[in-house]
Amino acid sequence: MEGMSGMDNGKRQAWHRWCESREKELSGPDSWIGLIGLDWLEPGANRVGGAEDCLVRLPGGEAHLGDLVWSGDALHWQPLKGDVQELATDRDSAPTVVDCAPFAFFVVERDGRLAARVRNREWAKTQPFVGLQYFDYDPAWAIEADWVALEPPVMMEVPNVTGDLKAVTVAHKAVFEVAGAQIELLPMSVSEREVFFVFRDRTSGKETYGAGRFLKAKPAQDGRIRLDFNFAFNPPCAFTAFATCPLPPPENWLPFAVAAGEKKWLGK
């Protein structure tokens, strides 16, 4: 672990900016807190509106606004008023957002299944944002780990909060020491931009969210990767029941308390 340095001071300032951006993100109209529905679509036409027979419900909205039509690899929004629009899911990039003020919805893809996520963009009018809490910044939790290749790669089935399993191929592991004990952490995904981890620790269910926390790191360089647990954050499922967050595999259940990063959200 690292001691205090000019680099640590720079990271501390970056951490403060990160905390501010988290607050801004979660207090805004497109916050996870504003989600009010996750409706799994069926092939064919799926009614959208406020009526009880609509698969995608917009509570209190117009009875029938239109249909989400899923045919093969194509997905279209067919409003009763307006032009037909082809929609992109979140499979490859940001999904197309359909605005039905004060509601909005977009479609996510999970293992070949499609679901409409419905958001009330005016959620804060009835549910003021209570803010986030964090452990104090501690440079000791900025850890330089070895990035070790797994030969052969490991295949895991990672569960999410809905009980579904997703196959994940793990080709590397982060290896580091805490209090003289060697620790290994497996990434859930690796891209050119970032490495994504899901972990639990001895604070989970106490000071922090019970299902675990997320951590993102920059890609490894020269066989090393920096894990800064001060930037550990709550998954979307800490704020809404309409998320499909991955859960940490048993290999990522850390046997000690990580007193760094985001604490449990107290808004529900």
pLDDT at residue 179 in the model: 87
What are the phi and psi torsion angles at 180 (to 5°)? 80, -5
Q: Which amino acid is at 6?
A: G
Exposure letters 66-85 (e unless 16+ CB within 10 A, then b) = bbbbbeeeebebeeeeeeee
pLDDT category of residue 8 using cuts at 50, 70 and 90: confident
Percentage of the residues of the chain whose pLDDT score is greater than 70:
97
105, two tokens:
């919805």
Q: What is the pLDDT of residue 7?
A: 63
Q: 26-74: per-residue pLDDT in tens?
A: 999 999 999 999 999 999 999 999 999 999 999 998 999 999 999 999 9
| 136-154 residue pLDDT tens | 999 999 999 999 999 999 9
Query: Rounded distance, CA 114 to CA 89, Å?
Result: 8
What pLDDT sits at residue 3?
46
Q: Which residue would you say has higher pLDDT here, 246 or 6? A: 246
Please, are residues 69 and 54 in contact by the beta-carbon 8 Å criterion? no
222: its two tokens? 């020269």
**44: its two tokens:** 């064919």
What's the pLDDT score for residue 234? 98
Percent of the chain scoring above 90 in pLDDT: 84
> Which ranges constitute the DSSP H helices of the chain?
6-27
State the pLDDT at residue 160.
83
Domain 32-125 CATH (choose: 2.60.98, 1.10.3470, 3.40.50, 2.60.200): 2.60.200
User: Which helix (H) or strand (E) covers residue 105, if one does?
Assistant: strand 103-110
The pLDDT tens digits for 96-126 are 999 999 999 999 998 889 999 999 999 999 9
pLDDT, position 2: 45
Question: CB 246: neighbour CB atoms within 10 A?
Answer: 22
Q: Please say if the pLDDT value at position 4 is more than 80.
A: no
Q: Where are the domains of the chain?
A: 32-125, 131-252
